[in-house]
Amino acid sequence: MNEHVIQNIVIVGGGTAGWMAAAALSRFLNNGTTQIRLIESEEIGTVGVGEATIPPIINFNAMLGINENDFLRATQGTFKLGIEFVNWGAIGERYFHPFGQHGHDLHGVQFHQLYLRERKRRVLQDISAWSMSSVAAAHGRFGRPGANAPAPLNELFYAFHFDASLYARFLRDFTARSGIVQRIEGKIVDVRLRDADGFVEAVTLADGRVVAGDLFIDCSGFRGLLIEQALGSGYEDWSHWLPADRAIAVPTELAGPPDPFTRSTAHPIGWQWRIPLQQRMGNGIVYSSRFADDDTAERTLLANLEGPMLADPRRLTFTTGRRKASWTKNVIAMGLSSGFVEPLESTSIHMVQAAISKLIALFPDKRFDPIERDEFNNQMRDLYEDVRDFIILHYHATKRGDSPFWDYVRTMEIPETLQRKIALFRGKGRVFREGYDLFGTPSWVAVMLGQNIVPDDYEPVVDALDEAKVAEAIEEMRQAYLRIAEQLPTHAEFIAKTAPVETPVQSFSFADEVPGILPFTGGTR
């Protein structure tokens, strides 16, 4: 065995981040040499704000060999086709940010460029009418496309809504079956650093046990027990761009069948989330303590609930930003220990997944090569900053001036990187996304058009295409999305046949009506 191989990995903290890391590392480090231990305390609760996800989580679960139906049953999960934004551009307006693409490119010209030219010629529906996920969501429909599903059904992309604490429990049980990860119940009271280089050598538990390791994964939440309290990595505060620093969450009874999408509704003091699970609705409000007190925020939330509360409201605090270095010495921060860019686009769980994949790609040995560390930090910095810009766009691109909060975000100075993106789009609808693994061109187009950033013109190459033929093709696409959506089962029907929480899975398939839909027996595409 190579003398430099990492032999002892210690994960500090459970919750979603900790058990995602444990599950993935046990899958890729099942080499008979590396020991993985996870320390968590039942005394310390988890935040669990994020109950909505984005499509890459499908790949994460598939990588672990998780059956999708089993996962949905265990987490009370539902499907998510995107996010509906209400009152963001202006009061009374709404738009949909879907997963997947808008329409089809023609002769190498992006669909949204064709759309921009066509809307100059005549009145068009919102661009969401050319998204399979958007149209299905608008009709309350869902189907899980098979690998060989025909167009446009194969353009239906999805993620999930689920109970984050149940997902952590599911991963914990799933990982326990492998026998590779050792769970240690205990509360850390001290961190011991090596004298020679300041690396973390061991942590001490309240009962006196000492747990040593070569590599430490910090999943201790906002406090950053290792990355910040022990190593002082530093935190880059983004609250001048993203002033929201408070959230209140409360579950309610379902008022009807669960929608296959998340809803974000803007209020004068912030915004409210609405996340439908199988047996309850997840609700919450995000706001800034600079512009509203906690009691006002709670009253706003409670006044806009759709069903009776199932528990008392829970208040949370946070500071948007990121660690200046997510990997410091022999500690790698994941989840809230690494940073937080608020839950508006459901990115928190994805940031954990991204950190895990980058760690596996750059996995160190005991020498901890600075080149590997710096590459990890650079990639995580770029990802955080790109997500930051996308979230700021939602706030800044508003016409609202009905409150001090919206006045501030509408008029504030924004990052130069976002200024450039908006200017490029405002000119000729251009979006450049090379090298990024999240929020592609369709996402930026959906939010910019949805919040009234309409380009002055379109790319000149569009004029090389015949107007009549393009108009005909665009209309055929719209009709195809609508036709397929109307044939899909309702979201509630699909869940009832796929992964109901209380009833056993039944054998049923809509494949005859809609070729390309996966049977309801599980799996991913």
Average pLDDT on 369-381 reads 98
10 Å CB burial of residue 369 (0-12, 13-18, 19+) is exposed
The predicted structure's pLDDT at residue 512:
35
- For residues 464 and 452, what is the distance between their CA atoms, to the nearest angstrom? 27
The predicted structure's pLDDT at residue 178:
83
Order the strands of the 321-323 sheet from edge to edge. 235-237, 321-323, 339-340
**Angle at 482 (CA atoms; ends 276, 462), nearest 5 degrees:** 110
The encoded tokens of residue 301 equal 């939330």
Q: What is the pLDDT of residues 149-205, one digit of tens each?
A: 999 999 999 999 999 999 999 999 999 988 899 999 999 999 999 999 999 999 999
The predicted structure's pLDDT at residue 524:
43
The predicted structure's pLDDT at residue 1:
61
Q: 123-137, 174-188, 501-515 — which is least confidently predicted?
A: 501-515
The predicted structure's pLDDT at residue 502:
66
- What's the pTM? 0.94
The predicted structure's pLDDT at residue 525:
40
The predicted structure's pLDDT at residue 516:
54
Q: How would residue 314 be classed by pLDDT, with cut points 50, 70 and 90?
A: very high
pLDDT at 354 over 70: yes
Q: What is the pLDDT of residues 324-350, one digit of tens each?
A: 999 999 999 999 999 999 999 999 999
10 Å CB burial of residue 399 (0-12, 13-18, 19+) is middle
The predicted structure's pLDDT at residue 372:
98
Q: Which residue has the tokens 């909060």?
A: 405
Q: What percent of the chain has pLDDT over 90?
A: 89
Q: Average pLDDT, whole number, for the chain?
A: 93
The predicted structure's pLDDT at residue 45:
56
Q: What is the pLDDT of residues 74-127, one digit of tens each?
A: 999 999 999 999 999 999 999 999 999 999 999 999 999 999 999 999 999 999
Cross-strand partners of 339: 322
Instruction: Name the residues annotated as catalytic.
Output: 80
Q: How would residue 312 be classed by pLDDT, with cut points 50, 70 and 90?
A: very high
Q: What is the pLDDT of residues 215-248, one digit of tens each?
A: 999 999 999 999 999 999 999 999 999 999 999 9
Q: Which residues lie closer than 8 Å to 217 by C-beta, 6 or more apart?
A: 9, 10, 11, 12, 18, 21, 25, 331, 332, 333, 334
**DSSP label at residue 109:** B
Q: What percent of the chain has pLDDT over 70?
A: 93
Q: Which residues lie closer than 8 Å to 108 by C-beta, 6 or more apart?
A: none
pLDDT at 37 over 60: yes
Separation in Å, CA 322 to CA 48, 265, 309, 355? 18, 26, 33, 13
**Based on C-alpha coordinates, what's the Rg of the chain?**
24
The predicted structure's pLDDT at residue 179:
87
What is the DSSP pairing of strand 8-12 with strand 35-40? Answer: parallel
Average pLDDT on 262-284 reads 97
The predicted structure's pLDDT at residue 32:
80
